[in-house]
Chain A
Amino acid sequence: MSEQEPGIVLSAEQKRRRRARSIALGVTLGALVLLVYIVTIVKLGPGVLNRPL
């Protein structure tokens, strides 16, 4: 039985760029969550606490 082929091996530069893309995407998604949270508070105001328990 032959050894499994290694497939695509990323170079150091490709790994560095992939990491940068992943960080940028993570930061963007985090900022989006924060934005939705803040806009929700702004639009609802005190009404955000006014809900049936």
Chain B
Amino acid sequence: MSLVTDSAKLAGPIRADAARAEPSMAGVGDYLALLKPRVMSLVVFTALVGMMVAPGQVHPVIGFTALLCIAVGAGASGALNMWYDADIDAIMERTADRPVPAGRIAPGEALAFGVTLSVGSVAMLGLMVNLLAAGLLAFTIFFYAVVYTMWLKRSTPQNIVIGGAAGAFPPMIGWAAATGGIGIESIVLFLIIFFWTPPHFWALSLYKSEEYARAGVPMLPVVAGAAETRRQILIYSLVLAPVGAAPWLLGYAGLAYGAISVVGGALMIALALRLKRTPSEQTAKHLFAFSILYLFVLFAVLLVEQIT
């Protein structure tokens, strides 16, 4: 797959053509938007938890450097995603105002920005922290930008299931930055995010399915229908609930985490059941909103238990 060819191909239908002919009007904010700051904040948070839960002490400067590299690496994969997906972003209302489809940043600039930051963040993490963490970060960027964005997203309704692994790696990278290794604990943190991703994204895609269909993205509701999506959301929620409680069951999280994860997991299942029995945009939105709260609270409690 030639990056140059794809870049040229993508430039066709979008307004970025104009941006290439004119001097750049991109502001600093547009480059920050390429980094997907909201996704980046979740990545930093989960990586921080992975680092804090890990045994041993990390020097604060090394810990900060690791988090910075992970954040920049995550941002770089977001920029590569926006470069490649500019054609479908232009079609969907939610993403049409992103810098590339809106014409404020040329596709080639976004590609160069993403590649530079990817190489820079991985090299810095390797030189300043350790090679395993750098290797995991490189694999995460590759998985998100190439495996998910370029391959799975447009070809299979299982796109976000497999692609969700990219979002699940940050706590493992944080753990690896702190310990230089991979532990069962960090794999469990990975699994929590991995099994959380399908119910989270499918709840969103249930009420955005028309946009995905128009853009030609084979999300599960578009390909298999809403009923099958609601069934799969319930199945993944049933798997997620015990996985969410695993840190407590394995003994590296306290009673507070145990109680919150069990109640939170039960609520995820209850909301997934309600969505299945009374399908509506409102029940889907409730599950989507609760899923964000659920993941945030689980990781926040793990962090608080480590600090106190």
B128 touching A14 by the CB < 8 A rule?
Answer: no
Q: Does B13 contact A (CB under 8 A)?
A: no
Question: Across the interface, do A39 and B25 meet the contact criterion of CB distance under 8 Å?
Answer: no
Q: How far is the CA of A14 from the CA of B22 in the complex (A)?
A: 10
Q: Which of B59-67, B150-158, B202-210 contacts A (4 or more CB under 8 A)?
A: B59-67
Count chain B residues whose beta carbon lies closer than 8 angstroms to a beta carbon of A: 13
Contact between chains at A38 and B61 (CB < 8 Å): yes
Contacts of A18 in B (CB 8 A): 23-24
CB of B25 within 8 A of CB of A13, answer yes
Chain B residues with Cβ below 8 Å from A35 are 65, 68
Q: Which of B23, B27, B28, B61 contacts A39 (CB 8 A)?
A: B61
Q: Give chain B residues whose Cβ lies under 8 Å from the Cβ of A38.
A: 61
B27's partner among A10, A17, A36, A42 (CB-CB below 8 A) is: A17
Number of A interface residues at 8 Å Cβ cutoff, please give it. Answer: 15
B27 pairs with A43, CB closer than 8 A: no
Provide the main secondary structure of the chain A interface. helix
Min CB distance, A20 to chain B, in Å?
5
Q: Which of A17, A21, A24, A43 contacts B128 (CB 8 A)?
A: A43
- B23–chain A nearest beta-carbon distance, Å: 5
| Alpha-carbon distance between A14 and B104 when the two chains are bound, in angstroms | 12
State the CA gap A43–B128 with chains docked (Å). Answer: 8
Q: For the complex, give the distance between the alpha carbons of A21 and B27 in Å.
A: 7
- Which residues of chain A have C-beta atoms less than 8 A from B28's C-beta? 20-21, 24
A17 CA to B104 CA in the complex, in Å?
11
Cβ contact within 8 Å between A42 and B25: no
Q: Report if B255 contacts A (CB, 8 A).
A: no
CB-nearest residue of chain B to A17: B27
Q: State in angstroms the CA–CA spacing of A24 and B128 once bound together.
A: 24
With an 8 A cutoff between CB atoms, is B26 at the interface? yes
CB atoms of A21 and B65 under 8 A apart:
no
Which residues in window 38-96 of B have CB below 8 A to A? 59, 61-62, 65, 68
Considering the chains assembled together, what is the distance between the CA atoms of A18 and B61 in angstroms? 33
Q: Counting CB contacts under 8 A, is A1 at the interface?
A: no
A24 surroundings in chain B (CB, below 8 A): 28, 31
Smallest Cβ-Cβ distance to A21: which chain B residue: B28
Chain A interfacial positions (CB closer than 8 Å to B) = 8, 10, 13-14, 17-18, 20-21, 24, 35-36, 38-39, 42-43
The 5 closest A-B pairs by CB, nearest first: A24-B28, A42-B61, A39-B128, A14-B23, A17-B27
A-B contact pairs, 5 of them (CB 8 A): A14-B25, A18-B24, A24-B28, A35-B68, A39-B62
16 A-B pairs besides A10-B23, A20-B27, A43-B62 with CB distance below 8 A are: A8-B23, A14-B25, A17-B25, A17-B26, A18-B24, A21-B27, A21-B28, A21-B31, A24-B28, A36-B128, A38-B61, A39-B61, A39-B62, A39-B65, A42-B59, A42-B62
